[in-house]
Amino acid sequence: EIVLTQSPAALSLSPGERATLSCRASQSVNNYLAWYQQKPGQAPRLLIYDASNRATGIPARFSGSGSGTDFTLTISSLEPEDFAVYFCQQRFNWPPITFGQGTRLEIK
């Protein structure tokens, strides 16, 4: 099973700042990595798939990069609605599909 480790567990930033979230895989997932945003009481929302492709309707301030075992989600300039929990997910070697434990992005 591929384990995804996200860091940091929590990140405290102000609107307008840049956010950098990390996801590290226990073995290569090629580029088969997705990122999701989840707000309280809501289902997750797909942001990025295959490491760097923005999903439909996702603002350009969200970008993904990386391949192999190290991946990054960057939010270039935080908007108030971006404060949420972010999860990564791999599909390279499944089953099982695995998710990271999440990074909580909080308002400073």
Partner 1 sequence: EVQLLESGGGLVQPGGSLRLSCAASKFTFSPYAITWVRQAPGQGLEWVSSISASGGSTYYAESVKGRFTISRDNSKNVLSLQMNSLRADDTAIYYCAIDRVTFGVGAFDCWGQGTLVTVSS
Contact 66, 51 (CB under 8 A): yes
Q: Which of 42, 41, 40, 81 is nearest to 58 (CA)?
A: 81
Rounded to a whole number of angstroms, the minimum distance from the CB of residue 7 to partner 1 is 14
Between 82 and 89, CB nearer to partner 1: 89
Q: Which two tokens stand for residue 47?
A: 């942001």
Rounded to a whole number of angstroms, the minimum distance from the CB of residue 28 to partner 1 is 15
Between 18 and 39, CB nearer to partner 1: 39
Between 14 and 43, CB nearer to partner 1: 43
Cα gap 76→62, rounded to integer Å: 7
Rounded to a whole number of angstroms, the minimum distance from the CB of residue 15 to partner 1 is 26
Between 14 and 56, CB nearer to partner 1: 56
Q: Count Cβ atoms below 10 Å from residue 105 Cβ, excluding itself.
A: 21
Binding residues vs partner 1 (CB under 8 A): 32, 34, 36, 38, 43-46, 49-50, 55-56, 87, 89, 91, 94-102
Q: Rounded to 10 degrees, what is the CA torsion of 51, 53, 58, 59? A: 90
